[in-house]
């Protein structure tokens, strides 16, 4: 998957390589307790509400400074009016199967405006049509129905459920599996119109 990191223009967002000015806003986004819950980054409410340690934040800064040099993944900033509001990521690339995992993270104050749908649609279209990936898959937690709806609306198909596979605050939750396969015309990303 080694490539130059592209700049992709959607209807509402621009996806571009990360810049130094994006680091602190991304750390703030990643640190949001609600997002830490929705992404499975924390396993208790207490942990989600506990600020990251200075060492962990330094690690995040180092990661974002080196992210554009990573050759086994593609991470792009989601921007609106050149303000970073999140990221889209293709990772866990399997060269034998020409497939990878997809994930997206958006600031909570930028949800419900169509930015996420546009970012996902723009990114997945690029991955299928330009990178010619065969399969893109993702996992979404049962407690995030909004994400499931968006993934389905851009063409991801539900493939199954890992029952009670995630635990938060002592309760078990299902993880739903979705994918787009490049050789299925009906599975190509499509507009929500």
Q: Which domain holds residue 58?
A: 8-187
**Residue 159, domain member (yes or no):** yes
Place 48 in a pLDDT band, splitting at 50, 70 and 90. very high
* The model's pTM: 0.91
- Residue 190 predicted with pLDDT over 70: no
- 3 state SS of 25: helix
Position 183 scores a pLDDT of 77
Q: How far apart are the first and last CA of the chain?
A: 31
Place 3 in a pLDDT band, splitting at 50, 70 and 90. low
* CATH number of 83's domain: 3.40.630.30
**Residue 1, domain member (yes or no):** no
- Residue 192 predicted with pLDDT over 50: no
Task: Count Cβ atoms below 10 Å from residue 74 Cβ, excluding itself.
Answer: 26
| pLDDT, mean of residues 88-115 | 95
- 137-153 pLDDT, tens digit per residue, is 999 999 999 999 999 99
| pLDDT, mean of residues 5-17 | 97
**Residue 193, domain member (yes or no):** no
78 vs 63: CA distance, rounded Å: 17
**Residue 124, domain member (yes or no):** yes
Task: Count up the domains in the chain and report the number.
Answer: 1
- Residue 168 predicted with pLDDT over 90: yes
Place 4 in a pLDDT band, splitting at 50, 70 and 90. confident
**Residue 104, domain member (yes or no):** yes
Q: Provide the angle, in degrees to the nearest 10, between the axes of the packed helices 23-31 and 54-66.
A: 130
Percent share of the chain, pLDDT over 90? 90
**Residue 171, domain member (yes or no):** yes
Position 169 scores a pLDDT of 96
**Residue 172, domain member (yes or no):** yes
């Amino acid at each position: 998957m080694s490539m130059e990191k592209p700049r992709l223009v959607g209807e509402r967002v621009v996806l571009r390589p990360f810049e130094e000015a994006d680091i602190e806003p991304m750390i703030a986004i990643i640190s949001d307790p609600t997002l830490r819950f929705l992404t499975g980054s924390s396993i208790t409410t207490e942990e989600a509400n506990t600020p990251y340690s200075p060492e962990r934040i330094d690690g995040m800064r180092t990661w974002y400074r080196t992210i554009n040099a990573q050759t086994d993944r593609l991470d792009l900033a989601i921007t609106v009016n050149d303000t970073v509001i999140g990221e889209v990521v293709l990772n866990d690339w399997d060269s034998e199967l020409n497939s990878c995992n997809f994930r997206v993270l958006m600031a909570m104050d930028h949800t419900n405006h169509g930015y996420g749908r546009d970012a996902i649609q723009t990114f997945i279209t690029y991955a299928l049509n330009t990178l010619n990936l065969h399969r893109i898959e993702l996992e979404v937690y049962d407690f995030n129905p909004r994400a499931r709806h968006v993934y389905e609306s851009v063409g991801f198909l539900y493939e199954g459920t890992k029952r009670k596979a995630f635990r938060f605050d002592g309760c078990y939750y299902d993880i739903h599996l979705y994918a787009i396969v490049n050789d299925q015309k009906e599975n190509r990303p499509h507009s929500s119109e």
